[in-house]
Structure 1
Amino acid sequence: MELHDVWFVLIAVLWIGYFFLEGFDFGVGVLTKLLARDRAERRVLINTIGPVWDGNEVWLITAGGATFAAFPEWYATLFSGFYLPLLVILLCLIVRGVAFEYRVKRPEERWQRNWERAIFWASLVPAFLWGVAFANIVRGVKINQHFDYVGSLGDLLNPYALLGGLVTLTLFTFHGAVFVALKTVGDIRVRARKLGLRVGLATAVLALVFLLWTQIDSGNGRSLAAVVVAVAALVAALVANQVGREGWAFALSGITVVATVSMFFLSLFPNVMPSSLDADWNLTVTNAASSPYTLKIMTWCAVIAMPIVLLYQGWTYWVFRKRIGTQHIAPEAGH
């Protein structure tokens, strides 16, 4: 296997890790409006992801940096063509991080509710736009012979991409609901499971249509296997959630996320960004890659750094593994 193939796989792993981890905390952010009934319950939901949300975003930074270094042509075309959607995502992530910190700086109800609304919208919008972006990448966009994106914003808002956005939004919300059920006690835990069932059923319908559309349009044998795993894991997650096996439900919803994102990358390879104008203008792992020397240096850095990052993040989740409920939130506490 060539180094550019290795780095395509590594970047896929980084995006899978990002969507697995950030997916459930996007979902929790959405649930602050859909599930929580009062300020105490909103604080419980926010506290379930409070110790880990910023660590989850490191995966996005690493994925973006790895793409820039390993596939500069891909990075340039992606970030220039998708400039506005990616800018909106970036602004949402900034607002979301500020909201987590500023929400508790003042005790007034209006102050905290406004920042909690910001958490909801700054979670919902990226959860939707990431699906739109990746659906467009798989479907192909208007790239010319110079590898420049020549389409418009309207071209990105096609029915397939919008469906992809709805799939990621509902899937992340379901992933977040089973995470909340796993991390809480009391009434909010029961309601999270009930809401998870409803959201999960909606996800199943949307995901089945989207995955089959993707497979028919641009799939192959490898991506078909990922589709089967995604559908089977989602059904099993719904069953586990319904019978109260919350650990299994979360693991299986995570497998659904992993298989869905894997399907994107398996459908792409050996392309990294297909052109809808001419297949000869596709960006591939070969013509978009950096020099072999650059990829070699990056590989050594990844071999040294990745195990340290994984161990540290795993330790963080272990330390903050206990369930919480409204009884654990002092009336005057912010978080």
Structure 2
Amino acid sequence: MELSTLWFLLIALLFIGYFVLEGFDFGVGMLLPVLGRDERERRVMINTIGPVWDGNEVWLITAGGAMFAAFPEWYASLFSGFYLPLLLILLALILRGVAFEYRGKRPAASWKRRWDWCIVFGSAVPAFLWGVAFANIVRGVPLNAEHDYTGNLFTLLNLYAVLGGLTTVALFLTHGAIFIALKTVGGIRHRANLLAERLGVFAVLAAALFLGVTLLRRATPAAVVLAVLAALCLIGGLIANRMPSRTDPAGRREGWAFVGTAAAIALAVASLFADLYPFVLPSTVDPLTNSLTVGNASSTPYTLKIMTWVAVVFTPLVLLYQGWTYWVFRRRIGTSHIPEEPAPAPASGGRAV
């Protein structure tokens, strides 16, 4: 296997990891005002992703760095042509990170409510725009002979791309609801199970329509197989979410449900990359001469060789550390684990009642 193809597969793997792990982060954030009926329940939801959300974003940073080093032409054309959507994603992620840190700085309910909506916004915008971006990458964009993007923002907001954005939102909402059910106890767990059932119907329909349109346009045998497996895993996860647990009479098989939705997202993203190969960014102007491929967009073989050795050394260490983090914070939590917030101190000169 050529090193350029190997790095295409590694970048695909990094984006798969990002969407699987950050996907439930986005889902939890979007569902914060839906499942969290009071402040303690919202704190429970935030605490389910508190130890891992920033680590999950490392997958995106690594994927961007790998793309820059292994496929500089792809990186340059993508980040210049998709500049505004990617900037909006970056700003939303910054806002979400700030909201996680600042919502607990004051006891006022209005203060927390504003930051909660920042978390919702900071989760929904990337969830939608990542679907838009990847739909355009697979569909192709107008590139000239110099591989420069010649469209505008509205070129990217075509019907196929909007369908891709709605699909990722639906999948992440379902994935997040099942993750909340997996990580909590009590009423919030039960409500998350029920909501996952309803959201799952929309996720199945949206994913089936999007992957169906994608495969009708240009399909490889590998892409078709992966798409079918993704659909089966999503349906299997939703079935597991309805089945009672053998060990916990109060719950369902959320563990298998989460495995199903995670596998569905992973296989769906893999299907898109399989459909894309050997292109990395097709051109809709002149697909034969203007498109970027694994061959004409890659770095020199020497650069790829050095990167491969670096990846061999450091990738296992990163995976072990992140796996250890999930293991340490594997237990369920509920409102009983959330301490009451202290009452605000009386104003200066006032008298406590």
What CA distance in whole angstroms lies between the structure 2 residues aligned with 1:34 and 1:209?
26
What is residue 351 of structure 2 aligned with on the other side? Answer: none
Greater Cα radius of gyration, structure 1 or 2 = 2
Letter in 2 for 1:278: D
TM-score by length of 1: 0.98
Deviations 1:170-229 (A, max 9, x none): 101100011000000001000000000000110001111111100001221110011101
What is residue 179 of structure 1 aligned with on the other side? Answer: 179
Letter in 2 for 1:11: I
CA contact (8 A) 1:271 1:284 kept: yes
Q: Give yes or no for the alignment of 1:309 onto 2:318.
A: yes
What is residue 272 of structure 2 aligned with on the other side? Answer: 264
State the Cα distance separating 1:91 from its structure 2 match.
0.2
Query: How many residue pairs get matched?
Result: 333
What is residue 347 of structure 2 aligned with on the other side? Answer: none
What is residue 110 of structure 1 aligned with on the other side? Answer: 110
What is residue 296 of structure 2 aligned with on the other side? Answer: 287
CA contact (8 A) 1:163 1:210 kept: yes
Q: What is the SS of the residue equivalent to 2:322?
A: helix
What is residue 53 of structure 1 aligned with on the other side? Answer: 53
What CA distance in whole angstroms lies between the structure 1 residues aligned with 2:319 and 2:7?
18
* Structure 1 or 2: more helix by fraction: 1
What is residue 253 of structure 2 aligned with on the other side? Answer: 245
CA contact (8 A) 1:271 1:283 kept: yes
Q: Give yes or no for the alignment of 1:300 onto 2:309.
A: yes
Q: What is the SS of the residue equivalent to 1:37?
A: coil
Q: Give yes or no for the alignment of 1:98 onto 2:107.
A: no
Deviations 1:26-71 (A, max 9, x none): 0000110222111111111100000000000000000000000000
Deviations 1:125-144 (A, max 9, x none): 10000000000000000011
Q: What is the SS of the residue equivalent to 1:272?
A: strand
CA contact (8 A) 1:173 1:199 kept: yes
Moved runs in structure 1, 4+ residues, more than 2 A? none
What CA distance in whole angstroms lies between the structure 2 residues aligned with 1:30 and 1:298?
37
Letter in 2 for 1:231: A
Deviations 1:252-272 (A, max 9, x none): 100000011001100100000
Letter in 1 for 2:173: T
Letter in 2 for 1:268: L
What is residue 329 of structure 1 aligned with on the other side? Answer: 338
Q: What is the SS of the residue equivalent to 2:150?
A: coil
What CA distance in whole angstroms lies between the structure 1 residues aligned with 2:33 and 2:165?
19
Q: What is the SS of the residue equivalent to 2:36?
A: coil
What CA distance in whole angstroms lies between the structure 2 residues aligned with 1:314 and 1:324?
19
State the Cα distance separating 1:90 from its structure 2 match.
0.1
Deviations 1:79-135 (A, max 9, x none): 000000000000001011111111111111111111111001100110000000000
Q: Give yes or no for the alignment of 1:122 onto 2:126.
A: no
CA-atom RMSD in angstroms: 0.7
What CA distance in whole angstroms lies between the structure 2 residues aligned with 1:180 and 1:162?
27
Letter in 1 for 2:294: V
Deviations 1:238-288 (A, max 9, x none): 100011110000001000000110011001000000001111211000000
Q: What 5-or-longer segments of structure 2 have no aligned partner?
A: 244-251, 343-353
What CA distance in whole angstroms lies between the structure 2 residues aligned with 1:309 and 1:109?
38
CA contact (8 A) 1:138 1:218 kept: no
